[in-house]
Amino acid sequence: MIEKTYQPKTFESDLYKWWMKQGYFTPKAESDKPYFSMVTPPPNITGQLHLGHGLDNAIQDTLIRFKRMQGYNTLWLPGTDHASIATEVKIVEQLKKEGVDKRDLGRESFLERAWAWKDKYGGRIVEQLKRLGSSCDWSRLAFTMDENCSKAVRKAFVSMYKKGLIYRGSRIINWCPACKTALSDAEVEYSEQDGHFWHYGYTTPDGKTTVTFATTRPETMLGDTAVAVNPNDERYKHLVGKTVVVPFVNREIPVIADEYVDMEFGTGVVKITPAHDPNDFEVGVRHNLPVIRVMNDDGTMNENAGEFAGLDRYEARKRIVAKLGEMGILQKTEPHKHNVGSCYRCHTTVEPIVSKQWFVKMEPLAKPAIEAVKNGEIRFHPERFEKTYFNWMENIKDWCVSRQLWWGHRIPVWYCGDCGAEICEETDPTVCPNCGGKHLHQDEDVLDTWFSSALWPFSTLGFTENSKDFKAFFPTSVLSCGYDIIFFWVARMIFSSLYNTGKVPFSDVLMHGIVRDEQGRKMSKSLGNGIDPVEFIDKYGTDTLRFALINGVANGSDIRFSSDKIEGTRNFMNKVWNASRFVLMNCEGKSLVSVKDCNLSIADKWILTKLNEVTKQVTELLEKFELGMAAQCMYDFVWSEFCDWYIELTKPVLYGSDDAARRDTLSVLAYVLDNILRLLHPFAPFITEEIYQSMPNRGESIMIERYPEYNSEYCFSEDFKLVEELKELIAKIRNVRSEYGVAPSKRIRLYVDASDVRIKQCGVYLAKLCNLEDVVYSNALQGEKTVKTVTSAAVCEVPLGDLVDTEKETERITKELENVKNEIARASGKLNNQGFLAKAPANLVESEKTKLAKYKELQTQLENRLKELR
RNA sequence: GGAGGCAUAGCUCAGUCGGUUAGAGCGCUCGCUUCACAUGCGAGAGGUCGUAGGUUCGAAUCCUACUGUCUCUACCA
């Protein structure tokens, strides 16, 4: 028997340990069953679990448990990500506190620290994930830098290198002066900042003509190698080909004509700094301009900056502006709002800098990746995210994959110190294959962390070995993650998988939104509004947290997480607990029989029919990945049908004297509860298992039981309708009681004139649920003061004596009549519409006719009642 | 600049193929220590589905424009 009160803390962790011990999470690669597999988005080893992980894991665990119960051979593979830059930043911070600089420590010792970090924090995050109840296979736990993954990275890199899809080149990249590394476009965050437009100009050597422009970054002028105008600009045509002089560095630079310049914008003149601006770089390539870097990697000005060398970039800017002013060159300064990029890790303003980096050529990879989604091999849920995906993939630029960091997969390229050859092979070279020289050194940089994440769905399964797991579980079935990493991760997995394995990595992408705080703000460290899911788990239990994150949420939409929501969900779990306790208490010591051997009451038939319907609905919704609606469906069924009605309807039998009837009703109660627990198990694994363990005739564990299926034997549509009518009748009578202030404890008489004779079988139910003294199947006595209430199945009279207030009663009936008349107008309007009759589906026309008849009947009854009252 | 989302009850949000008397939770009002549960039970109030057109027999749902709002993306010096 379960405990009196629902206290998830007392059983959740024990159940989890037991499931693990039983090996329920671990599938075998050899199996006759169809497979269903997922890989988890690997959390960074930097950190702390947040509610987003909670949501992500809740979704995936619900899916995997559902599929497991449906009989699939299920694998859910967990793992963690080395998170190159993010982790390195953390370790550098840690070192700084000890007064140690990364460079002094040296690469090898630094990596030792990083691995120690991984052992500590990687392990911690795994423990946190377990608290979420995730039934992933921990025996296959992966890490982006373990052997499988590293081999896959090497194989992919070498293959792409040899096909010319990876190249090294000088490009403008986003440079973080604090992390001292290149960043990919996706790693830069833009925000609008207040800046200035400084207007000034360069003058021809003869001092006669000055071309004026505006700039937001005057310090880059030291690296200017041209001034550009639009070729069609009449104002400047005569200047093209002439030269002007850059102050401070006294460099003579040409005035060039390029389409890139917008004549309408500003003065129509642009200063060109190829080394420090992406557009200028392109212009420089077209016009063969020199590229002069004026900044160091740490954001200070270099020797090319002349008198400003050594200054920080912002200090240099200040001094240059001041000097331009003194020299009378500066014409005006205006405030200007513009978007400034910053490093997504340390939030330092990034500097576009020309440098030599490794790139992945995207166009040939993007094409098949676009095609795979276009032709439906991969489907996004909800579908609209396909647009986001296409939008990015169709405008994609080459991917900068080198990072000037130490923690990560080192770029597998060696350079020969003797002949300068570049060597990229799957095995480390010892001599130069070109000249036989032995002075080889490996590229210092590591790969973007997403390069290895992109291989995750197959690298973790042993793709390089063509292992049993790879053959059994790849391509994976579903990928679930937040829409915020479509570009970072989903898109890259798709093209990487197509390139390396020739197959799509998964067939369905299930997108969820971001978990926000009560005020709708994104949770972040700087706001301090982040919530540790473990906090909620301690207080409310895992099931409550998970259900609160999933219930009623549409796919892909953000979730505003509030304490109201979680408390409401806790109440639901408590409801499940208590309803189960009711059933178990009543079953204790009683022998039950199979439902098919029971003499079913109308209430039994009603709940079995309803259960059947819900089973079908929930299953279909889960198969369409509509988890939010499926959970909602269960919530409503359990609370509003099973608890509010069925349990109440069983009480007259349970507390009655007919032993056979009691046994049968108990059998149905237990059967329905058993089904509820199974249906609910994927969403709320712990509470359902805990209760299941006290069920009569239980199996070993609910998580390896079969998911309920539609059973055509339990479909009693006539009895179902009857109980629905009964519910309506009870509601009306309760309404009368409430409206007339009849004390709930007061037992009264009810007169029923049933048009549906089967209502007469429902006397016990009416009596119990409306607290009646007796039910009389006739009209009230002549002259007895009653309140009448009407449904399509029956006319009821409640004798209330002096409580009956003719005026109030007239008002009530009139109002109800009004409603009914509106409905009649609506229905007959439809039925008089020739278009509707001709084009609407027949069943719809039929149901409108039925409704109309029902309302007309009601109208007659209500009008009669009004006449009586007058 | 480009792309996309959202706008439904006081609040937070569901609403699937166009057809339900438009739903839920919370909040609110009234009444209840009824033997599973006061984390509860019963009864209510509360909506012109952002605005204007259009398609349709029929629109919260599809189309167009507008308004408001949020997000992503680009980075015009």
DSSP track, A731-789: HHHHHHHHHTT--TT--EEEEEEESSGGGGGGHHHHHHHHTEEEEESSPPPTT--EEEE
Residue numbers 365-404 of A with CB closer than 7 A to any atom of strand B: 384, 387-388, 391-392, 395
What is the percentage of chain A residues whose pLDDT exceeds 70? 100
Dihedral of CA A702/A705/A706/A710: which sign? negative
Q: Estimate in Å the CA A607 to C1' B37 gap, whole number.
A: 20
User: Does the CB of A217 sit below 7 A from strand B?
Assistant: yes
Residue numbers 304-363 of A with CB closer than 7 A to any atom of strand B: 338-339, 341
Check whether A47 has a pLDDT greater than 80.
no
On whether the CB atoms of residues A207 and A213 are closer than 8 A, the answer is: no
Q: Which residue type sits at A502?
A: G
Check whether A186 has a pLDDT greater than 80.
no
Q: Protein footprint on strand B: which nucleotides are under 7 Å from a CB?
A: 2-6, 12-16, 19, 21, 24-26, 30-37, 39-44, 56-58, 72-77
Residue numbers 743-772 of A with CB closer than 7 A to any atom of strand B: 743-745
Nucleotide nearest to A571 (CA to C1'): B39
Residue A798 zone, left/alpha/beta (φ > 0; ψ -120 to 50; rest): beta
Task: Measure Cα distances from A819 to A1, A263, A755, A858, A862 in Å.
Answer: 50, 68, 21, 11, 11
Q: Estimate in Å the CA A757 to C1' B45 gap, whole number.
A: 35
Q: Please give the average per-residue pLDDT across A202-209, as a whole number.
A: 94
Q: How far does Cα A178 stand from its chain's mean position?
A: 32
Q: Estimate in Å the CA A573 to C1' B11 gap, whole number.
A: 24
For the ranges A133-147, A446-460, A736-750, the lowest mean pLDDT is seen at A736-750
Q: Residue A690's pLDDT band (boundaries 50, 70, 90)?
A: very high
Q: Which tokens go with A768?
A: 């119990």
Check whether A438 has a pLDDT greater than 80.
yes
Q: Estimate in Å the CA A14 to C1' B35 gap, whole number.
A: 33
Q: Which residues contact A157 (CB under 8 A, 6 or more apart)?
A: A166, A411, A412, A424, A447, A451
**Residue-wise pLDDT tens digits, A705-739:** 999 999 999 999 999 999 999 999 999 999 999 98
Q: Which residue type sits at A350?
A: V
User: Does the CB of A278 sit below 7 A from strand B?
Assistant: yes
Q: Estimate in Å the CA A854 to C1' B44 gap, whole number.
A: 25
- Partner residues linked to A200 by β-bridges: A213
Q: Token match 């400047």: residue?
A: A236
Nucleotide nearest to A823 (CA to C1'): B21
Q: Which tokens go with A669?
A: 């109660």
- Highest mean pLDDT, choosing among A350-359, A560-569, A680-689, A839-848: A680-689
Q: Estimate in Å the CA A555 to C1' B60 gap, whole number.
A: 19
Nucleotide nearest to A621 (CA to C1'): B16
Q: Estimate in Å the CA A384 to C1' B64 gap, whole number.
A: 20
User: Does the CB of A811 sit below 7 A from strand B?
Assistant: no
pLDDT at residue number A253: 96
Nucleotide nearest to A837 (CA to C1'): B57
pLDDT at residue number A247: 94
On whether the CB atoms of residues A717 and A600 are closer than 8 A, the answer is: no
Q: Which residues contact A803 (CB under 8 A, 6 or more apart)?
A: A740, A741, A742, A785
Nucleotide nearest to A579 (CA to C1'): B36
Nucleotide nearest to A624 (CA to C1'): B16
User: Does the CB of A193 sit below 7 A from strand B?
Assistant: no
Check whether A756 has a pLDDT greater than 90.
no
User: Does the CB of A450 sit below 7 A from strand B?
Assistant: no
* Cis amide leading into A475 (omega within 30): yes
User: What gap in Å lies between CA A308 and CA A175, rounded to an integer?
Assistant: 21
User: What gap in Å lies between CA A671 and CA A650, rounded to an integer?
Assistant: 14
Q: Estimate in Å the CA A7 to C1' B9 gap, whole number.
A: 35
Nucleotide nearest to A640 (CA to C1'): B24
Q: Please give the average per-residue pLDDT across A307-333, as a whole number.
A: 95
On whether the CB atoms of residues A771 and A735 are closer than 8 A, the answer is: no
Q: Estimate in Å the CA A184 to C1' B76 gap, whole number.
A: 22
State in Å, rounded, how far the first CA of chain A is from the last one: 60
Q: Estimate in Å the CA A93 to C1' B37 gap, whole number.
A: 52
* Cis amide leading into A429 (omega within 30): no
For the ranges A125-134, A192-201, A631-640, the lowest mean pLDDT is seen at A192-201
Q: Estimate in Å the CA A576 to C1' B39 gap, whole number.
A: 11
Q: ipTM, 2 decimals?
A: 0.96
User: Does the CB of A18 sit below 7 A from strand B?
Assistant: no
Nucleotide nearest to A391 (CA to C1'): B3
Nucleotide nearest to A338 (CA to C1'): B75
pLDDT at residue number A493: 97
User: Does the CB of A299 sit below 7 A from strand B?
Assistant: no
Q: Residue A785's pLDDT band (boundaries 50, 70, 90)?
A: confident
Residue numbers 627-686 of A with CB closer than 7 A to any atom of strand B: 628-629, 632, 636, 639-640, 643-644, 647-648, 651, 655
Q: Residue A312's pLDDT band (boundaries 50, 70, 90)?
A: very high
On whether the CB atoms of residues A81 and A488 are closer than 8 A, the answer is: no
Nucleotide nearest to A651 (CA to C1'): B35
pLDDT at residue number A485: 92
- Partner residues linked to A696 by β-bridges: none
Q: Estimate in Å the CA A524 to C1' B1 gap, whole number.
A: 29
User: What gap in Å lies between CA A286 and CA A265, rounded to an integer?
Assistant: 22
User: Does the CB of A571 sit below 7 A from strand B?
Assistant: yes
Task: Measure Cα distances from A29 to A25, A73, A135, A140, A706 in Å.
Answer: 13, 8, 17, 12, 21
Q: Which residues contact A738 (CB under 8 A, 6 or more apart)?
A: none
User: Does the CB of A1 sit below 7 A from strand B?
Assistant: no
Q: Estimate in Å the CA A523 to C1' B65 gap, whole number.
A: 36
- Write the DSSP symbol of residue A702: G
Q: Estimate in Å the CA A626 to C1' B25 gap, whole number.
A: 19
User: What gap in Å lies between CA A624 and CA A592, rounded to an integer?
Assistant: 36
pLDDT at residue number A790: 87
User: Does the CB of A27 sit below 7 A from strand B?
Assistant: no
User: Does the CB of A484 sit below 7 A from strand B?
Assistant: yes
Nucleotide nearest to A745 (CA to C1'): B34
User: What gap in Å lies between CA A538 and CA A838, rounded to an integer?
Assistant: 61
Q: Estimate in Å the CA A493 to C1' B65 gap, whole number.
A: 40
**Number of Cβ within a 10 Å radius of residue A515:** 24
Q: Estimate in Å the CA A571 to C1' B37 gap, whole number.
A: 9
User: Does the CB of A851 sit below 7 A from strand B?
Assistant: yes
Kindly provide the residue ranges of all beta strands, DSSP E only, lying in A791-837, ordered along the sequence.
Answer: 794-799
Q: Please give the average per-residue pLDDT across A279-287, as a whole number.
A: 92
> Using alpha carbons only, how large is chain A's radius of gyration in Å?
37
Residue numbers 231-260 of A with CB closer than 7 A to any atom of strand B: 260
pLDDT at residue number A467: 96
**A542: exposed, middle or buried (C-beta count within 10 Å: 0-12, 13-18, 19+)?**
buried
CA-nearest of A512, A451, A501, A505 to A478 is A505
Q: Estimate in Å the CA A736 to C1' B42 gap, whole number.
A: 12
Q: Estimate in Å the CA A822 to C1' B18 gap, whole number.
A: 23
What is the percentage of chain A residues whose pLDDT exceeds 90? 79
Q: Residue A142's pLDDT band (boundaries 50, 70, 90)?
A: very high
User: Does the CB of A624 sit below 7 A from strand B?
Assistant: yes
Check whether A157 has a pLDDT greater than 90.
yes
Q: Where are the alpha helices (DSSP H) in A517-556?
A: 533-540, 542-550
Residue numbers 55-94 of A with CB closer than 7 A to any atom of strand B: none
On whether the CB atoms of residues A353 and A172 are closer than 8 A, the answer is: yes
Q: Estimate in Å the CA A518 to C1' B12 gap, whole number.
A: 9
- Partner residues linked to A245 by β-bridges: A203, A252
Average pLDDT, chain A: 93
pLDDT at residue number A633: 96
User: Does the CB of A215 sit below 7 A from strand B?
Assistant: yes
